[in-house]
Amino acid sequence: MAYDLTNFLVIGISSRALFDLSMENEIYEKQGLEAYCKYQLEHENDILQPGTGFALIEAMLKINQIDNENRHIEVVIVSRNSADTSLRISNSIDAYKLDITRAAFTGGEPVAKYLNAFDVDLFLSATEEDVQAAVESSVASGLIYGGAPKNQPKKLQQIRIAFDGDAVLFSEESEMIYQQQGLNAFIEHEKLNAGLPLPEGPFAKLLKTLSYLQFQLDGIIEGPTLIRTALVTARNSPAHERVIRTLRAWNVRVDETFFLGGIPKDKILASFAPHIFFDDQHRHCDEASRVVPTARVPYPKKETAE
């Protein structure tokens, strides 16, 4: 019988998002593919250090150990490496005892076209071209920010994920009004539409999946919820009402909500300590990545008239 991934939360992650391959990538960029391949083959038994996305993947996979009767999470390596250079990645996965058995190694070709074949719900990569292409394929995707944040996620029983609102959980419609017409126009628009749920953004489906998974797991384990989510948004009153009514209309659970009114997000995020934070603005991601693992959600490219 064929193995069906449609009932799982499937995370696709590149090797550079899972492991720290910054030095190896520098070899590739400065010395070329041949030098990179040679280095990887010579060091294929050297275990790689964890990358920005490692803590999230490690934590999510442990859900499968908690519920012995049902498997909830699948992780697929989606990489531009070749099969020949992939052994170092596989050896590192084995060394950290990560339950990852599926992979796509495309030998330098773009990877986005294979994501839907694996039923990927979330794609994380350090290659902007691949993330952008995944966004165009309607896959929730984040561009991983490199560097080690000050607050590495602790090995807690609880998995913590933080989201921005506009252009992440919700569509970019309101964000565009703010950018093009200013704050006053944005506030007026949100007040007039307070009772109208915001259109879904690229991560709405993921939030709904996590909310459903929370419900399932709460019936299995005792004590604090295993997954805890947070909304960290620059909105404040009166624009907060539409957000609350939207989440209510979606029938989803968000455990903590922060309406910051434009103040920096990094201190709130440092306190919440998520395994990952998703935002659409480079400025916010740059600040956040210094304290917590962070990924930027690109805008879809708009078709332009010729």
pTM over 0.75: yes
Residue 3 inside a domain? The answer is no
218 and 126 co-located in one domain: no
Q: Mean pLDDT across the stretch 170-193? A: 87
Do 102 and 176 fall into the same domain? no
Range of the domain at 62: 9-144
Residue type, 181: Q
The rounded percent of the chain whose pLDDT value lies above 90 is 74
| Residues 177, 233 within the same domain | yes
SS3 assignment for 271-299? HHCCCEEEECCHHHHHHHCCCCCEEECCC
Among 144, 170, 204, identify where a domain stops: 144
Confirm whether 21 is domain-assigned: yes
Residue 108 lies in a domain: yes
> How does pLDDT run across 58-73, given as a tens digit for each residue?
999 999 988 777 889 9
Q: What is the reported pLDDT for 302?
A: 65
One domain for residues 134 and 229: no
Instruction: Give yes or no for residue 153 having a pLDDT over 70.
Output: no
In a domain, 1, yes or no: no
Last residue of a domain, one of 89, 111, 144: 144
Residue 233 has pLDDT above 80, yes or no: yes
Q: What's the whole-number average pLDDT of the chain? A: 91
Considering the domain architecture, whether residues 175 and 127 belong to the same structural domain is answered as no
Is 64 within the bounds of a domain? Answer: yes
pLDDT digits (tens, 9 = 90+) for 82-126: 999 999 999 999 999 999 999 999 999 999 999 999 999 999 999
Looking at residue 189, what is its pLDDT?
87
Residue 105 within a domain: yes
* Residue (of 108, 107, 134, 104) closest to 122 by Cα position: 134
pLDDT above 90 (res 262): no
Q: Of the residues 110, 144, 178, which one is the last residue of a structural domain? A: 144
pLDDT at 227 over 60: yes
147 pLDDT above the threshold of 80: no
Residues 126 and 296: their CA atoms lie apart, in Å, by 10
Spatial neighbors of 129 by CB under 8 A, at least 6 apart, are 110
Q: Are residues 52 and 174 in the same domain?
A: no
Residue 151, pLDDT score: 59
Residue 154 lies in a domain: no
Residue 217 has pLDDT above 90, yes or no: no
Active site amino acids: 164
Residues 127, 178 within the same domain: no
Confidence (pLDDT) at 297: 98
Predicted pLDDT of residue 149: 65
140-144, strands of its sheet edge to edge: 102-105, 73-79, 9-13, 122-125, 140-144, 294-296, 276-279, 159-163, 227-233, 256-259
Check residue 306 and give its pLDDT: 34
